[in-house]
Structures are given as C-alpha cells and as structure tokens.
Amino acid sequence: MHVRWSRIDQALRVELERRFDLREPVRLDDDNWSYLPGDRSPETFRAIVGHPLVVWTDGIDRVTFGTAASPPLSARRGGFLAGASPWMARAARAAKLAGYGLMALAVLILAGLALAPVLVDRGWTLRGLPRLARVGIARGVPEVSPEAAGLFRIIFGAGVVLFVTRHPVSADLLPPYDLAGALGPYGIVVRWLSLHAGVGRALGPWLATTGLLFVAGLLTRTAFAGFVGGVLLWACVYTVTTTMHTVSALAITLICLLAARWGDAYSVDAALRRAFRRPPRPVPAIGYGFAVWVPRLVFGVAFLAAAWSKVGHGSEWILNGTVKYHFVTDLDHALVAWGPRLTSYHWVAVLMSASAVAVETLLVTAAFSRSAAYRLSIAAATLALLSGFALFQGIVWGGWWVLLLAFLPWERLRLPSTGTIGVRAAPAAAPSFSRGQVAVVAVLGLQQFVVSCARIEARPVLSAYDMYSSTYGSAEEYEHASNLVYRLVVFDGERASSIPECPINDRAAAQVPAAAGGAGEARERVRALLRPCLPPGRAPSAIVLEGDRRVYNWTEGRFEWRRAVDVIGPFPAGWLYAPNGGPAD
C-alpha cells in the first residue's frame, strides 16, 4: 500500500510504521511511502485511514477497510513470474478472474442445455421464468397448517422478545470514542439516538409492547413491523460496543419475515375474525410454511458465508488447525478450560477445524431438503457447533440459537383446527409463494453474494460473517497478531509511576502521538480518555504508554505477560490539563 503522511518527522513515522505493522518501507517522494502491510485486519486499516497524520492511502478499500481490488504492487520477490513487471502481474490476475467467469458461464450453459428439453415439454417460455423461480425457491419449504404457523409465531416470537429485552441498551451512555468511529448511515443513526435520550429510553418499552402484541397476534402484521423497526434501532445501539455478528442474522431474518403469513391461527386477530364471521383469504399450506422456512434459509446462508470467509482463499484455515488459536483468544470466557489442551494434538485441531467448516457449509442444504430426518441431523450438528462455541469460547449468541427453532418438524404437527384452514397445494403444480416472498429470497441471496465477495460490513445487518476467519501458520504468528494493551506511565521529574488500573487499547494509543502534536480532534478524544487516569494534585511532567502483550504459554498451558513490547512517548503532560497548566477539575 501507499501512504502519504502529513509533515511527519522520522521518529514519529517509524513509530507509526511499527504500530500499524507496515513493513518494507520504500520512500516514493517527499511524504509518500510504499509499504507491505503485515496486519491486514479491518481494525488496523480503519485506524490507518482515520489517523490524523495520514493524508491519503492507496491500497485500502474505504468501504470495507480491506485490501483494495486493485492495490499498488510491490516488487516481485521470486515465484513463477520472477522479475515480471507490474502489468504482467495485473494481467495474470485478470486472466484468473476471466477464468472464473468462463467457468460460471459454462455451468449456466450446461444447466440450460439440461433443462431445455424439460422446459420445452412442459411448454415453458421466457414468460414462465418467474413461475419457474417460484417453483425452484419453494423446494424444501414445508407445507404447514395455519395452526402450526401460529404456534411457531408464539414460540419463535417469545424467544426473540426475550433475547432483545434481556440486553437493554442506552444510547445516551455510549462512549464518545466509539460514536466517533461509527460510519455512514449507521453512524448517523447512533449519534442521533445518543442526542435524543428520550427515544433511547422508550426503545425498551416499545420492544416489549410490540413484541407481546405480535406474540399474542393482535394486529399481527402491524405489531410485527413495529417490532422489527425497534429491533433494528436496538441493534444499532447494541453493536456499537460489540460485534455485529451477534445479531445480524437475526435482524435479516426478521426483515425477511415481514412477508410471512402466520397470524391466521392461535391469535387475537383470528378470534376476532371468527367472532365477526370474516374468514381470511385462503392461503396454501406452503404459504404458511414460508414463516418456518425463512429462518432456516437465512441461518444457512450466514453459515455458508462464514465458511467461505475461512476457506475461500485456500485450505490453510483447516490445515493449520486454526480453531486452537481462537480457543486461546476466548479462553477467559470459555465454560471449560481444556480446549487448548484438546487441540494441542495437531490432528485433533485439524479435524475440529474441518468439522466446523463442513457444518457451516452443509447447513444451507437443509433449507432445500424435504427430508425431516436430514434437516434434524444437520440441525443437531449445528447445535453441537454452537455448543462448542459456548464450551470452548464462552460465545452464546442468543440470536443464533433462536433460529434453530425453525428446524423442528413443524409440518408434522396436526393440531385441532381453530376454524381457519389453509388450502394445500403441490408446490410444483401451483407455486404458492407471493411475488413479495420471491423478491425477499432473491434479495437475500444477492446481497449476501455481493457482501461476501466485496467483504462489506454495514452494521447492524450486512456482514460477510468473517468471525474467527483469521488463520495463523504458527504460534509465533498468532502471538505477533495479538493486540497490545497499554499502561499509562507518568513521570514526576525522574520518578516514574505506572497506572495499571487504566488499560488503554491499541486504537486509542495510536491517537496519542497526534494528540500530543496538537491535532485538535485527536487531542480531545485522548484527553477525555486519559484524564480520569491521571493522579490528583500535582501535574506530572511527562507521560509514556507502555504496550504489554498477553501471550499463551503452550507448554505450561497458561497465560503470561510480556511487558513493554512497545513504548509510545515520552510526551509532555501539560496538554492533558486545563489551559492554565493545572489539573483539570
């Protein structure tokens, strides 16, 4: 990548290069430098782009904060085309992409040739393609009675309401540093909510009210639409301080379910219609099955995207036994502590990595299978995977667990009729999906394809599901990629005092040199972060940040600290205080 710095001295530039893991620096002209990025995580790229001393970058996608589609190339260092010019490297990349395109075109042509005789025999024309799409999408959708759909609404809705109400949010208490880092429409929403405390405080009662109305089936469609809108606002606030992966699949599911028909039985609406003798419009049984099928499809698509993020560029994630490193990352939160010991055997780590990818890949097939036994077996494997997350990493994302309810055999429920009967129809003979439902499914697949290819993240719903997709070739590489935790050290003359009870993350620490140099926005952020850590009374003469790294001792099976791996400073401390030089009140 190329970076243009803003009037930066050599010492500070070298320090920032070390912090951002920018390797092999080559000076292009006065302020422009070329680097080979060692840490290519979105967090690091976002920190580079947002740093006040960085004027311009080439090679970073400003939307996804990943590697740009056409980054500047470094000099060749061997390989099949050793010594080749940059245009030859770009031509090789273009040839590879063209090959992928030809392969996709060949698959489409072969599929068309295989289907053509069948379509001609059945009298299909181009006008029949929408109907063909509806038949294809309907494969695997269960034929569900309105009573079973109503029962699913009650159980699934209660699970979602319980999940969101057990995680209350308060927009007016969001950290200013995190708010400043929120981008795009998402950032506009969360900052607006932080400024309108009344709206944030009303969010909890709104979710409880609309959610209970939906579960009870009173004004079912209206109540559900209001509940979904509230959940999206709740998710915006909730994901400011945590990963969006906890709720993104659930949020997309709720959006897709706006097209579902599941309030015709076991609902207040159905009781009122019977009392006033106003039967609902008959809906084929597969139309009611849409409500049960959508969570299966969304869950499968999300897991398929997660599998692709791990192995889309090679099999190293599996062959390196990468799960053992992620077990260590979350070991403090794990329900059991023997995950790293279990995966200390390389073949066990490889087997567990391969099993995780296999389950994530196969889950989507359950959405298109008509076999209840197959769906239950895949759901059981998914339950085992989620249980592994909980046991070995302490990850219990309630939004994912709720989606598993859809894999139960709802089509086998034969409940007493409440007076509203769905009209059954064979899916292939009379596709019963509405155009709106077909559009929902088509948009779901298209958006996930685009998001996964471009590695887009748009909180709180769009994600490539790249959680835990980083791979490490060795324990040393994993250790080097782990984040540093900085301690504040204050100097009173020659006397230094460490303040370990005030840890500072690496993103905030990266702002300190710019803040000390006079950058206004960075100075305000850092001042608000460090002031509470400073001792009362006499102002220190200087400050230093010492970066420590917590590493895992694989031999002894325990964590230990490596102190002062990185040092930022010293800097004069006067700018941290009030303009008169004394401690701020």
Check: CB of residue 463 under 8 Å from CB of residue 244: yes
pLDDT the model gives residue 52: 75
pLDDT the model gives residue 512: 86
pLDDT the model gives residue 120: 45
Q: What is the pLDDT of residues 263-307, one digit of tens each?
A: 888 999 999 988 887 776 667 777 888 899 999 999 999 999 999
What's the start-to-end Cα distance of the chain, in Å? 44
Q: Which residues 6+ apart lie within 8 Å of 204 measured at CB?
A: 165, 168, 169
435-454 helix and 285-311 helix, angle to the nearest 10 degrees: 0
Task: Note the pTM of the prediction, 2 decimals.
Answer: 0.70
The DSSP annotation for 27-89 comes to E-SSSEEEEEES---HHHHHHHHH-TTEEEEESB-TTT-SB-SSPPPPPP-SSTTTT--HHHH
283 vs 276: CA distance, rounded Å: 20
The DSSP annotation for 539-571 comes to PPSEEEEEEEEEEEETTTTEEEEEEEEEEEEEE
- Please state, as a whole number, how many other Cβ atoms lie within 10 Å of the Cβ of residue 571: 17
Nearest CA to 370 out of 442, 428, 416 is that of 428
42 vs 332: CA distance, rounded Å: 24
Q: What is the pairing mode between strands 54-58 and 542-553?
A: unpaired
What does the longest C-alpha to C-alpha distance in the chain come to? 92
Check: CB of residue 132 under 8 Å from CB of residue 116: no
Query: What letter would DSSP give residue 122?
Result: T
Q: Which helix (H) or strand (E) holds 476?
A: helix 475-481
pLDDT the model gives residue 116: 45
Report the Cα 386 to chain-centroid distance in Å: 16
pLDDT the model gives residue 92: 55
Q: Which residues 6+ apart lie within 8 Å of 382 measured at CB?
A: 299, 303, 359, 363, 404, 407
Q: Where are the alpha helices (DSSP H) in 394-474?
A: 398-403, 435-454
Residues of the chain scoring pLDDT < 50: 76-84, 100, 103, 106-107, 110-111, 113-129, 132-133, 418-431, 580-585
Tokens of 356: 């995780």
Q: Which helix (H) or strand (E) holds 504?
A: strand 495-505
In degrees and rounded to multiples of 5, residue 549 shows phi and psi of -120, 125
268 vs 266: CA distance, rounded Å: 7
